[in-house]
Amino acid sequence: MKEFLRELTIQADNPGVSTGQNQWAGHGKVLESYSPVDGHCIANTQVASREDYDAVIRQAQVAFEVWRLKPAPLRGDIVRQMGQQFRQHKQALGQLVSYEMGKSLQEGLGEVQEIIDICDFAVGLSRQLYGLTMQSERPDHRMYEQWHPLGVVGIISAFNFPVAVWSWNAMIAWVCGDVCVWKPSEKTPLTGIACQNIIREVLRNNEVPEGVSCLVLGGREPGEWIASDARVALVSATGSTRMGKAVAEATGRRLGRCLLELGGNNAIIITPEADLAVAVPAIVFGAVGTAGQRCTSTRRLIVHEKIYEDLKQRLQKAYTQLRIGDPMEATHHVGPLIDQQAVDDYQAALETIKAQGGTFVIEPGTLTGSGYESGCYVRPCVAEVENHWDIVQRETFAPILYLIKYATLEEAIALQNGVPQGLSSAIFTLNMREAERFLSAAGSDCGIANVNIGTSGAEIGGAFGGEKETGGGRESGSDAWKTYMRRQTNTINFGHSLPLAQGITFEL
């Protein structure tokens, strides 16, 4: 067994259900986790049955009754202790993320660092869950608002960030007084078990009620149970737009709340006044990092016609330097796609690009032979296309970069906005007017808009999320915490009479 698996107590016949301190094997079918790095089966578990799921929700409801009454700074201190545990296990968990998901070890370690960072953020937040005081129109009255915990928060996470996105939700929800039920991707279940194992000692030492941190493993079904369950106050779902629409429909039918982080079709605009020495590394990392499997991956490159050929040549040179292989080796830039279905989607997209008239300036392909036995390794590629083509309008979770030419900034912004998704965007320019236009109300329509940095990656201090078919959700920093709480407006009459609204008199 690999040493990092031993450290995280990931073994065969892993439990598929956990309520924090306690865990047990689910009663559903066996779920095997295969590494896209080498194709080996890492471990297996039995997924949750409907009975398992209901038991978890009942336990979470009981835990909420206790957890919500603990002072927020105390909840924050428990999250601080969790952050310390993740610091101690950063190397091992980062290795597991890299091995089970296929991203580079540096990215795996960076993802664990995001957990640590959001723990630190949540600790400070636990003393800053502010409400407002408003002026009443009635004499001797005071109005103010306060925020209360929602209840059970369901977290449905995707394979590409198997632990970070869970932490963005869970750490904030916990300091807000909520309890969490996490359904990780069926493609990366072991990282979910590892996170529960890492924080278990903290939960026990602080006598945290069992059910504050729950884990339910499985595929589509547990996600559907969470989305349709009126006992779940908020459903935070990360994944495809198709999945997000199903979650929104299910929660909408019961008038529930949902927080959606869905697909991206992110573009970078390169103007004639861009510093290309800064732009090219951002483009390449955005396009090929995590093998193009980030929701913030750069999909489209919108380049001014004056510098189009120059930039194309720079990209061709940069792409020849990419090393593809085992992501746990530091010398490799690009690891595998998550599984064979992702490879099939990549190949189908290539055929569609050709059929619609696209030209590859950096050729695609799949890799076989020694070091590529899993069959999940592909070549990052670049294609010249038109923005309105169907294939360009869709998100393909693979390292395919579309190259598009423009003449005016207004045209470039229209191209950038001219897709159904609205997550991340960027412009490279040293012209202040161009930058400010891009950031104005007439500029990017995305939830994230950057100047002279790429589309990929975000700091936890800012609210993360996007518009249009990206779902409109916001996680992590800023005031995203309000999503996990309910607002209550309070009015206090400290006078000796009861003035009624709108001047109404009512005498007895």
Instruction: Provide the annotated active-site residues.
Output: 261
- What is the Cα–Cα distance from 387 to 456, expressed in whole angstroms? 20
- What is the Cα–Cα distance from 399 to 420, expressed in whole angstroms? 20
CB 186 within 8 A of CB 69: no
Q: Which of 353, 380, 355 is nearest to 367 (CA)?
A: 380
Both tokens assigned to 54: 């209901």
Q: Which of 116, 238, 114, 128 is nearest to 175 (CA)?
A: 128
Amino acid at 475: E
- What is the Cα–Cα distance from 200 to 490, expressed in whole angstroms? 38
- What is the Cα–Cα distance from 394 to 266, expressed in whole angstroms? 11
Q: Which of 187, 7, 203 is nearest to 91 (CA)?
A: 7
- What is the Cα–Cα distance from 92 to 7, expressed in whole angstroms? 7
- What is the Cα–Cα distance from 342 to 348, expressed in whole angstroms? 10
Backbone phi, psi, residue 382, to 5°: -135, 130
Distance of CA 167 to the CA centre of its chain: 10
Backbone phi, psi, residue 154, to 5°: -95, 130
Cα–Cα distances (Å) from 455 to 23, 47, 235, in that order, read 39, 36, 26
- What is the Cα–Cα distance from 405 to 302, expressed in whole angstroms? 6
Q: Give the pairing of strands 424-428 and 266-270.
A: parallel
- What is the Cα–Cα distance from 127 to 129, expressed in whole angstroms? 6
For residue 84, count other CB atoms closer than 10 A to its CB: 12
